[in-house]
Amino acid sequence: MEKTLKWNAFPCEEPSWRLNISAPISVMQAFWQQCLESLKRLTQNTPKIYTTWFEVLKPTYWNEKDGILTLEAPATKITYIRGAYQKSISAVATRIHGSAVAVSLVPAQVKPVQREESGTSHPPSETEIKRREETGLLPGLTFENYVNGNANQLAVAAAEHVATTTGTQYNPLYIYGGVGLGKTHLMQAIGHRYLDLHPKARVRCVSAQDFINEYTSAVRESTNKTHASLEKFDERYRSLDLLLIDDVQSLSGAKGSQGQFFRAFEALVPHNKQLVITSDTYTRGLKDIEPRLISRLSQGLSVAIEPPEFEMRTAILLNKAKTMGVDLPDEVAAYIAKRLKSNVRELEGALQQVVAYQQFQATSSREITIDIAKRVLREQFQVVNSLITIENIQKTVADYYKIKVADMHSKRRPANIARPRQIAMYLTKELTQHSLPEIGENFGGRDHTTVMHAVRKITQERQNDAELNHEIHVLEQMIRG
């Protein structure tokens, strides 16, 4: 049975707060230190919770009279702390203060990584960069450069937790989602953070296809008299502190590589060595993978990354433009984000096209405008819109669930047909501008109330069924091309 992370242990509303004349820093620090000491005592049996989620908080405002406390939290941890611990922090602060304290959390500004050996901020050395590249980690794929939103907040919080408490919980961590949603970036961010905390650790980040290629080469180089290459390969993976495997679905059908991966799993996970895996589907959706391996992958924590919502897509574009040194107006980012919805790569590719176009313009006209975005991305927008037709949706859904397109129009109602038909109606309502009567007419002349029932039913069920939710996201990506 897969474990799914729960985030409503301490449900609470985020309190509002206003700026008044703040208390002196010494008073604020003294009060927060008391709160920390109390939180530390409460978590004495689980010290990792204190160091991971409480110790990182910094007080920025304390109004003793009105009982208002503002804490600064790392941007990658703030969502989880709000959901899981904000109410507890407020309760502790209230008890110490003697009257009600409203606690609010604000994201910290991104700062350079603190290096253990010097205690000061400085860019990584060439030696360090080279070492990280040798492990398979790519520069820039860090938590600091990862945009958070509702679509990935659970996965980000789990990744942050694993990076700081490797092997002790959520092992393996299984991250799944569609193409181009940031799974690889998040996995690599775990590796970078882990090496920040443990500079001498043995880390390896590799795609499943490269794992297969390495194993195949080792087998080829081995002979009947010596198995040195295989033994070397085996030792390389069994001796790691952290193993990151990308696109594990690529192991499908590769029985020898699956067996080797299973041996690596057994050498690492039972000994509290962390394993992180990414895939394009949930564990039970993996095809032609040994049952014993699927069972092992399912024993840890599985978290999904969904396609980004509008606000997150806009933030991704603005963040990418900033790293490129490009001034992208908010309204242009919003215009692009509203029209391109499938994945992060599509967004970044669109931005690259706009920027490249502008670089060839006269200096006086290099400002990026909505008109420029329309002109450069016109064909891409047209392709996206032209692909999304009722016929395309019906065929995609029918193929996915292995039924006939004719079943979309028939009056038959067995579950294996009725369910895909309802999903197709739901997707048509979500992805096209057709009215309910028009949709009903294209599904065998059904009444608009039938379509409305299907839309409501699937909307409700996908909120409570992670497997259905994932299937719909996959279908959305297939339909958008």
Residues 147, 290: one domain? yes
pLDDT recorded at residue 380: 72
Residues 298, 329: one domain? no
Residue 398 lies in a domain: yes
Establish whether 177 is an annotated binding residue.
no
Residues 275, 150: one domain? yes
Residue 76 lies in a domain: yes
Q: How far apart are CA 352 and CA 185, in angstroms?
A: 19
- 193 — phi, psi (to 5°)? -65, -40
Q: Could you read off the pLDDT tens digit of each residue along the chain, which spans 481 residues?
A: 444 333 333 333 333 333 333 444 578 899 999 999 999 988 887 777 788 889 999 998 888 887 888 888 887 677 778 777 888 898 899 999 988 888 887 776 544 344 444 344 455 566 777 778 788 898 888 888 887 777 788 888 889 888 887 767 788 999 988 777 889 999 999 999 998 888 889 999 999 999 999 898 888 887 665 677 888 888 888 889 999 999 999 999 899 999 999 999 999 999 889 999 999 888 888 889 999 999 999 888 888 887 777 888 888 888 888 877 888 888 888 888 887 876 788 888 888 888 888 777 665 566 788 888 888 887 777 655 556 788 889 999 999 999 998 889 988 888 889 999 999 999 998 877 788 888 999 999 998 889 989 999 998 888 778 788 888 888 887 787 6
Asked whether the CA dihedral 21, 24, 30, 32 is positive or negative, the reply is: positive
Q: Which residue is associated with the tokens 């069920």?
A: 461
Pairing outcome for strands 102-107 and 68-73: parallel
Pairing outcome for strands 242-246 and 58-63: unpaired
Establish whether 65 is an annotated binding residue.
no
Residues 296, 218: one domain? yes
pLDDT recorded at residue 124: 59
pLDDT recorded at residue 471: 86
pLDDT recorded at residue 21: 37
Residue 421 CB neighbour total at 10 angstroms: 25
CA atoms within 13 A on the CB side of 367: 8
Q: Which of 304, 325, 345 is the last residue of a domain?
A: 304
Residue 118 lies in a domain: no
DSSP state at residue 52: I
Beta bridge partners of 103: 69
Residue 11 lies in a domain: no
Residues 152, 103: one domain? no
Residue 252 domain boundaries: 129-304
Burial (Cβ within 10 Å: 0-12, 13-18, ≥19) of residue 327? exposed
Residues 424, 296: one domain? no
Q: How far apart are CA 320 and CA 229, in angstroms?
A: 42
pLDDT recorded at residue 118: 39
Q: How far apart are CA 203 and CA 205, in angstroms?
A: 7
Residue 386 CB neighbour total at 10 angstroms: 10
Q: How far apart are CA 355 and CA 347, in angstroms?
A: 12
Residue 429 lies in a domain: yes
Establish whether 98 is an annotated binding residue.
no
Residue 315 lies in a domain: yes
Q: What share of residues in the chain are helix, strand, coil (percent, to 5)? A: 55, 10, 35
Residues 209, 265: one domain? yes
Q: Which of 304, 321, 337 is the last residue of a domain?
A: 304
DSSP state at residue 23: P
Pairing outcome for strands 274-279 and 301-305: unpaired
> DSSP string covering 371-426, please?
HHHHHHHHHHHHHHHHH--HHHHHHHHHHHTT--GGGGTS----HHHHHHHHHHHH
469: CATH = 1.10.1750.10
Q: Tell me if 305 sits within 8 A of 175, measured CB to CB.
A: yes
Instruction: List C-alpha distances in Å: 415 to 235, 392, 420, 421.
Output: 50, 22, 8, 10
Total domains in the chain come to 4
Residues 239, 223: one domain? yes
Residues 292, 321: one domain? no
Residues 79, 206: one domain? no
Task: Please name the residues in contact with 27: beta carbons below 8 A apart, sequence gap of 6 or more.
Answer: 62, 64
Establish whether 183 is an annotated binding residue.
yes
Residues 234, 350: one domain? no
Burial (Cβ within 10 Å: 0-12, 13-18, ≥19) of residue 448? middle
> DSSP string covering 227-262, please?
-HHHHHHHHHHHT-SEEEEE-GGGGTT-HHHHHHHH
Residues 412, 457: one domain? yes
Burial 254-290 (b: 16+ CB within 10 A, else e): beebbebbeebbebbbeeebbbbbbbbbbbebbeebe
Q: Tell me if 83 sits within 8 A of 158, measured CB to CB.
A: no
Q: Which of 107, 141, 157 is the last residue of a domain?
A: 107
Residue 97 lies in a domain: yes
98: CATH = 3.30.300.180
Host H or E run for residue 278: strand 274-279
pLDDT recorded at residue 365: 61
Q: Which residue is associated with the tokens 């959706």?
A: 285
Residue 205 lies in a domain: yes
- Report the predicted TM-score, pTM, of the whole model to 2 decimal places: 0.59
Asked whether the CA dihedral 141, 46, 169, 281 is positive or negative, the reply is: negative
